[in-house]
A = this chain, B = another copy of it.
Amino acid sequence: MNSILTQISDSLVEKVSSTSELIESCLKAEKAPIIQSIASHLVKSGGKRIRPLLTLAVADLFNYEGDADTYLATAIEYVHSATLLHDDVIDGSEKRRGKTTANLVWDNKSAVLVGDFLFSRAFQLMVKTNSLPVMKILSNASAIISQGEILQMGVTRNIKTTEEQYMDVIKSKTAALFIAACHASSILANTKKENIEAVTNYGEFIGISFQLIDDYLDYIGSKSAIGKNTGDDFNEQKITLPIIHAMNNASNNEKFLLTEIFEKGISKNGDFERVLEILYRTKSLKFTLSQAASWSERAVFSLKELPDSEMRGLLIDLASEIVYRNT
């Protein structure tokens, strides 16, 4: 996937560079310079920036000619970063993108407040787009994301979580921002209704695929490749699709073990490996991968009526490659 992201980035080199400058310069907080250090720690830690790139790509796809796409892309990245900061406080995570998380380098208080600052900056940037529909899309997305995060708390440690509940969580907490990025950007570009629908669907479908792969990589990704710790979901007793599928296909003994670990939090040395064995035996990782592939296919399909262009080709490739990412 990274090779496609690089190609998209290369074909939008000026936009990407102004967006990077904005992402950096809007972290400055005259009154409280410490904000910049804390936020930079996360924002500049080498994330893929898939969300702002998507935003710029969609604007380019519909030949948008203003500057507001860079404000929008920055706002989207800030909402994402704020969510990560608050997530890490909530999860007590120790690693994010291979770096010690802000909540451990500084403290939970700063992480909460800098997250709030990034949310505020995101709203300031949205206002700068000067477009009421864009602001509506983003403020709605933001409300859905926070509901998704709360939904996720409800399914954590609940081994009876259904696939449907899980899909609800990832649609809200992850896909919503991908949708908003594509939707708002196409609105800025003032393209026709069918095009807006096409890229909004695309955003939803690759957002879902992206999260499924995230949950898959949490069990088999290598530590260095994904940056965060493999096994984070396991350690936090998060119920993701691999575990739900395993529960549906496990023997009684295996179900007992999964319940002990994920619901009761009773875990001993070697349990991660035992869970991996169950996931392999029940083909649950393979199932998760195939589900991601199917959402990616839907993403590709959603772009089929759009006029052919280089960017359309890249977005199609991105959707396919998301499934094969290892980072």
Contact = CB atoms under 8 A, between A and B. Distances in A.
Contact of A123 (B31, B114, B139, B154): B139
A237 interface: no
Interface stretch (A48-56, A143-151, A258-266): A143-151
User: Assembly of this chain: how many copies?
Assistant: 2
Interface stretch (A130-138, A190-198, A239-247): A130-138
Contacts of A149: 113, 116
Contacts of A86: 112-113, 116
Interface string A113-134: 1111101110110110010100
Interface in A72-104: 82, 86, 89-90
Contacts of A174: none
A19 to B, nearest CB: 19
Contact of A35 (B112, B130, B150, B172): B150
A30 B151 CA distance: 11
Most chain B C-beta atoms within 10 Å of own C-beta, residue among A108, A120, A142: A120
Given A132-B127, A135-B127, A31 B112 contact: no
7 contacts: A31-B144, A31-B172, A35-B147, A86-B113, A116-B146, A123-B123, A127-B132
Interface of A: 29-32, 34-35, 82, 86, 89-90, 108-110, 112-117, 119-121, 123-124, 126-127, 130, 132, 135-136, 138-140, 142-151, 153-154, 168, 172
